[in-house]
Amino acid sequence: MSENQEKKVHGIVAEYESVDSLLDACRRVRDAGYKKTDAYTPFPVHGIDKALGIKPTHLPWIVLVCGLTGTATALLMQIWMNAIDYPYIISGKPFISLPAFIPVAFELTVLFASFGAFFGMWALNGLPRFSNPMFTDPRFDRVTDDRFFLYVDSKDPRFDEGSVQQLFNETGGQHIQSVIDDDSSSKIPKPIFAIWGLIVAFSVIPLLIVLKMRVTNSSSPRFHVFYDMDFSPAKDAQQGSTLFADGRAMRPDVPGTVARGEVGQDMNFLTGIDMEELDRVDSPRAERLVNTHLNPLVPQDPDGNDDDEATSPEVSAQAEAAQEPSVMDTTPWLKENPLDVDRELLALGQQYFGIYCSVCHGLNGGGNGLVNRRARKILAQSWIPPSSLHQESLYEDKYPDGKLFNTISNGIRKMPGYASQIKARDRWAIVAYVRALQMSQNASIDLVPQDRREEILERQREVEQKLEEQAEAERKAEEERAKRAGK
Ligand code: HEC
């Protein structure tokens, strides 16, 4: 501000010696109808907002609105991503699964609310502000020590220098003064620019170093900031180790280990192969499956002789799985599910099928799961589609339960095995459910109790109609795409 301009008066301030006199003065000022006021004290004084008639802050409302915005943002974002832009079944959950959305919603709620609180507080307090005219009076320094100040702003509609001074006088205020503009320059001091420039200059250095390292070669080893984190003695999964003879850091189960809760599950149950029968027939393949089950890390020789061409267990299990169906299957598979198939088991099977199988094979087992649809879209030619589970060759008479169990456990050709992810009991539940699915595709209405037939037929009509609509929509989308591609 230039010298000749008259100094602007911001308001009037008075000094008080005690909390009581300040509070008393506050009440008088409030009752006189002044609104744009403020009190400055060395420590928090209870009841001063009320004495000054200061309304509670709006900050909580700002925080609430920001928090709700965060919740809404998170939910909409996840619904858009999971259910609209890229619908994908994860762990058998519905596309819009609120419980799964909670963590992100919680985080964004907290984040937005904190931003609201932080920036809202700044905004409501008129910050950032580099200087305050209150500081021009050296007496004001005592506000952090032993003096109390009361201030009335000149923007107050009732402001009148004379009457405010008189009011302060009456309430025992001392050193009543006008608060005038700070006469220091409003320009940012030069040293700040210098510091700023230095910070910018220094912050470029790491970038330059990175840049240089990207374009040059070095024969010295990488620099490790936290050496013991980069080279922890603990091993990661699949890492090698010179400590053990087989060179692997991961250790297999001690042969014969039985997991908690799985005591009493016999080999029939765990492999899907009839052990008694195996004693009688000669089936090298079944022997190998059993051995692989017992010693998953010990390579099984596919030919049963002592050639040194030992393959890794994964490879031999895959070779096993890949065996052509044309080769006579001599494996003595269990013919029946060893568990009692009841409603509860089927429900369990349905759940696990939904989680592990439906992504590829589809919820109805028809082979058109979401992975298949997506893969056909992006991989087109090279994709091997999941089998439909409704082929006759997969029915119970040609494909015994034990074999289905083995397929789930060890996989087949392009399909991975699930023994490491699904417990044996749950795999058998899936077997039971697959059978139910297969039956459902060929069921006749005679299988349904008399009193529920009408209901089922009604459902069937509904489903057929829906399928038709779906096919229609798909056809349209296809045409649309073809049209666009043609353009
Ligand atoms: C990652 C996708 C994928 C998942 C998940 C999957 N499968 Fe498969 N499945 C396939 C593919 C692909 C094939 C066909 C393999 C081939 O022909 O190379 C197949 C084949 C099959 C077959 C036919 C086997 C045969 O002998 O022809 C059965 C039965 C089967 N799957 C059952 C299941 C069950 C039960 C589950 C759930 C535990 C499951 N699949 C999970 C991809 C999958």
Tell me which of 208 and 129 has the higher pLDDT. 208
Specify the pLDDT at position 2.
Answer: 44
Residues of the chain with pLDDT > 90, as a percent, come to 35
Angle at 129 between CA 128 and CA 132, to 5 degrees: 150
pTM of the model as a whole:
0.52
Angle at 212 between CA 208 and CA 217, to 5 degrees: 160
d(CA 29, CA 22): 10
* Distance (Å) from CA 385 to ligand 1 centroid: 9
Q: What would the mean pLDDT of 109-117 be, rounded to a whole number?
A: 97
- CA-nearest residue for atom 36, ligand 1, is 357
Specify the pLDDT at position 174.
Answer: 84
In order of their start, the domains of the chain are 7-183 (no CATH), 283-443 (1.10.760.10)
Specify the pLDDT at position 168.
Answer: 86
| Number of residues that this document lists for the chain | 487
Please determine, for residue 6, whether its predicted confidence score (pLDDT) is greater than 70.
no
Q: What would the mean pLDDT of 459-476 be, rounded to a whole number?
A: 92
- 419 ligand 1 Cβ < 6 A: no
Residue for token pair 């829906």? 466
Please determine, for residue 318, whether its predicted confidence score (pLDDT) is greater than 60.
no
- CA-nearest residue for atom 15, ligand 1, is 414
- Give tens-digit pLDDT for 149-193: 999 888 888 888 888 888 888 888 888 888 887 777 777 888 999
Specify the pLDDT at position 4.
Answer: 43
Local confidence band at 228 (pLDDT 50, 70, 90 cut-offs):
confident
Contact between residue 352 and residue 426 where contact means Cβ atoms under 8 Å apart: yes
d(CA 289, CA 313): 10
Please determine, for residue 247, whether its predicted confidence score (pLDDT) is greater than 60.
yes
d(CA 59, CA 30): 23
- Give tens-digit pLDDT for 374-409: 888 887 678 888 999 999 889 988 899 999 999 999
Ligand 1 pocket test, candidate residues 388, 390, 412, most atoms within 8 A of CB: 412
Residue for token pair 């022997």? 287
- 359 ligand 1 Cβ < 6 A: yes
* Distance (Å) from CA 419 to ligand 1 centroid: 13
**Closest by alpha carbon to 410, among 317, 330, 275, 326?**
317
- 357 ligand 1 Cβ < 6 A: yes
Angle at 193 between CA 187 and CA 194, to 5 degrees: 140
- 418 ligand 1 Cβ < 6 A: yes
